[in-house]
Amino acid sequence: MKLRVRVFRYDPRVDAAPRYQVYEVDRTGKLRVLDVMEHLCDEVDPTLNYRRYLCRDTMCNTCFAKVNGKQRLTCLEKVPEGEEMTIEPIDGYRLIRDLVVDFSAPIPRRRRLTVGEG
Amino acid sequence: MTMLGDTQRRVCDVLVIGSGAAGCRAAIEAAEYGARVILTSKGVFGKSGTTNLACVVYDAAVGHADPRDSPQVQFEDTVIYGRFLNNQDLAKRFADEAIKSVYDLERYGMEWWKTEDGRFLQLTSPGLRYPRGLHNNEETGKKMQQALVREIRRSTRRTIEVIEDLFIADLVRADGRVIGAIGIDYKSGALVAIEARNVILATGGLGMMYSVTDMEAGATGEGIAMAYRVGAELVDMEMHQFFPTAFVHPESLRGIIVTSSALWVLGLKLYNAAGERFMEKYYPEEKENVPRDILSRHIFLEIAEGRGTEHGGVWIDTRDIPNFDVIRKERPRTYLWKDRFGVKTDRFEVAPTYHYTLGGIRIDVDGRTTVAGLYAAGECTGGVHGANRLAGNALPDCMAFGRVAGRHAALHPGPQVPIDDQELARARRRILALVGDAVPVERVNRRLRELMYRHVGIIRSGEGLAAAREEIRTLRHQATQMRTPQAASPTFGLLRALETEAMVELAEVIVESALLRTESRGAHYRTDYPAADNVNWLRNVVARRTPEGPSLTTVPVDLKYLRAEVVAIEAQSARL
């Protein structure tokens, strides 16, 4: 079965505005959103920026992304049902590129996901 | 805009590369002795690195659980478990530093689990004479990392500047001495030159060179490769520890370990697909309660010889562990959270996973490498643990050698030598050579990792290693052609290409070292030489880089503190 993954792309150094890029992947035995992202970065599009130095087992708490609009730890998040999934960077931090945010540069907001002491 | 068009220059006394436990501890100690320190992390500071993933025990012979324990006993346990391949000076230094490091961490705010009357709770695990493992449940490494980060961020007297998302690509050498490093600043997109009077590598292990590993995804070994490229010696590079029990199914969880070794003592049972409790055959008394290398080997063989499960594992049965429900609840990461991926934690499939890099950069008791101006600490080094590492000895190793390297580097500053523009231009050319019309990096990366797991992993043979040598030659050639696609700013794809280059170079060293060691010892098991050979092989394999490839020599292990037990070990090895 195919899965369409809509991914937020933006390099503030050069791009005028963000855009969404659509990738089509096979649903495989891998279950997690993180697995899909690793597959995209390694095999499909190495220019896609998604944090890579991750523990992949709920300890580092830096694999956060918005999955269909909801902020999720992608190593704990199963790929949602349906044909399409949208992946965006989490809110509240300065964006470096694509899905990668700068956890050292929080943007003051009313509600913010706490990553510091997770 | 071209990639790496901008250049930044930085200056410090001590540059620490890597921000796991060893790097953080080294930075704190160097700053304590008055050095201006730059600490770099290739990911998020305090979040990347394998320290966070270290699950349970931290061995230090504080003797609270059993007053007979002492640094001498810890040293002896370490050397016996390491099959006498350890550098005994390093192992001794390690054991002597371990207790102090517990209180250092406590001072930084680390919470240890304690008894009601305030003594440290200490757990036992295979290979320990007395219970020695201090802990904070399944989050020992994480709590430790947090304490170290807090200490570094304390503003009162530290002079440590942290630069995160900085990928160090090369060490720079002048007149036989390391004078700094050049890296890629992922955030700003610039090429950065850092001049330092001394450099400390604390870059961790190389688990990502194997297709199945429990390590953090940044554990790719390029720190070890960088040291090798500037002429530092590597030692025991054939030694790689596998953790016997990691999930194999579902695919997403493959390689993630099932904590902890204590379960083997408590009554965990292993069955093959036919329902036989296979460890009984080999160890009627100890059964599953045997050292890691032995358990890994038997599980691997069980699977390799066709008695594995559908998904290539063996069954773990936890149902006879007393109070397992309590353990399960206390360790949600290992057990409860796996439920959502369909794992039944009373009975599930496991197989060995790459766990710890035993070999690495050769250091002395002050953390000095064989190149002036370059130090190393933690998992990127070799020699402390010999041919097999005890559960709970990894974290105190980071703390011990982080401290000694940090202090020595601060107290013995080299000259401040500018990194000239030519060096920067050379580094830029080397990096940008990997950018172009895409020739997938992944092809080399994946093939290498699978090759390493298959032929250079738990079970080796002269034949398999020779095949690996041939294939690595091909991969070396392919690595010169791989290209990551052009982009305006540095990508993780580019970093992965640099890592893959380093991996291929290190793979050569690992295979050659494994071919040279014609015996079996600890983590190194060869079917064509299945016994330990204490007459010829109480020796370390030392590798140095030459233009023609690795040049290997062997040096005898100096059994200066512990010798008598060699006999006992011989008796034990005969049974393996």
HEC assignment per residue over A53-76? CCCCCCCCCCCEEEECCEEEECCC
**Chain A contact set for B214 (CB, 8 A):** 57
pLDDT at residue B576, rounded to an integer: 41
Closest-approach residue (CA) in chain A for B254: A30
Q: What is the pLDDT of residues B520-562, one digit of tens each?
A: 999 999 999 999 999 999 999 999 999 999 999 999 999 999 9
Alpha-carbon A71 to chain mean position: 9
Active site residue B154: no
The radius of gyration of chain B from alpha carbons, rounded to an integer in Å, stands at 23
Is the pLDDT confidence value at A117 over 90? Answer: no
Asked if B44 and A51 come within 8 Å (Cβ–Cβ), the reply is yes
- Percent of chain B scoring above 70 in pLDDT: 97
CB within 8 Å: A60 and B442: no
* Closest to A90 in 3D by CA, of A33, A38, A44, A45: A33
Residue-wise over A99-113: b if at least 16 C-beta within 10 A, else e? bbbbbeebeeeeeeb
Q: What phi, psi does B213 have (nearest 5°)?
A: -150, 155
- For B161-171, write each residue's pLDDT tens digit: 999 999 999 99
Task: Sort out which chain B residues have CB atoms less than 8 A from A77's CB and list them.
Answer: none
CB contact under 8 A, B492 and A52: yes
The secondary structure of A27-39 as a DSSP string is --S--BHHHHHHH
pLDDT for position B568: 56
Provide the percentage of residues in chain B whose pLDDT is more than 90: 83
- Res B575 pLDDT > 60: no
Q: How confident is the model at residue B574 (pLDDT cuts 50, 70, 90)?
A: very low
- Three state DSSP letters for B25-59: HHHHHHHHCCCCEEEECCCCCCCCCCHHHCCCEEE
Tell me if residue B556 falls in helix, strand or coil.
strand
Q: Is residue B186 less than 8 Å (CB to CB) from chain A?
A: yes
- Beta carbons of B251 and A96 less than 8 Å apart: no
Q: Do A13 and B1 make contact, defined as CB atoms within 8 angstroms?
A: yes
pLDDT at A111: 58
Pairing of strands B360-362, B269-271: unpaired
All residues of chain B having their beta carbon less than 8 Å from the beta carbon of residue A42 are: 442, 445, 496
pLDDT in tens, B240-291: 999 999 999 888 889 998 866 777 778 889 999 999 999 999 999 989 888 8
Contacts with B489 from chain A: Cβ below 8 Å: 11, 13-14, 97
Query: By CA distance, what is A33's nearest residue in B?
Result: B252
Which residues touch B257 (CB under 8 Å, ≥6 apart)? B55, B214, B243, B245, B246, B247, B353, B355
Residue tagged active-site, from B292, B428, B449, B517: B292
- State pLDDT tens for residues A42-70: 999 999 999 999 998 888 999 999 999 99
Cα gap A116→B5, rounded to integer Å: 33
Q: What is the pLDDT of residues B489-521, one digit of tens each?
A: 999 999 999 999 999 999 999 999 999 999 999
Quote the tokens at residue B405.
Answer: 């390297």
Asked if the C-beta of B221 comes within 8 angstroms of chain A's C-beta atoms, the answer is no
> Which amino acid, B211?
S
Q: Mind listing the pLDDT tens digit for each residue in B128-143?
A: 999 999 999 889 999 9
Name which of A31, A45, A60 is nearest B341 (Cβ-Cβ).
A31
Pairing of strands B240-247, B347-357: antiparallel
**Sequence-distant (≥ 6) Cβ neighbours of residue B468 within 8 angstroms:** B451, B452, B455, B456, B507, B511
Mutate to test the interface with B, among A44, A54, A57 (most CBs of B within 10 A): A57
Any idea which of B4-13, B66-75, B326-335 has the lowest mean pLDDT?
A: B326-335
Window 33-62 of A, Cβ < 8 Å to B: 34-35, 41-43, 45-62
User: Which of A30, A43, A56 comes nearest B217 by C-beta?
Assistant: A56
- Tell whether B449 is within 8 A of chain A (Cβ): no
Of A35, A47, A54, the CB nearest to B217: A54
For residue range B290-300, what is the model confidence (pLDDT) as tens digits? 888 899 999 99
Question: Over chain B, what is the mean pLDDT?
Answer: 93
The whole-number average pLDDT for the span B395-409 is 98
Q: Is the pLDDT of residue B97 over 80?
A: yes
Torsional sign, CA B298, B300, B306, B312: positive
User: Hey, are the CB atoms on A62 and B48 less than 8 Å from each other?
Assistant: yes
CA dist list (Å): B53 to A9, B138, B141, B317, B541 = 30, 9, 6, 24, 29
Residue numbers in A near B186 (CB within 8 A): 96
- Chain A interface, best mutation among B491, B495, B500, by max A CB count within 10 A: B491
Q: What is the ipTM of this complex?
A: 0.91
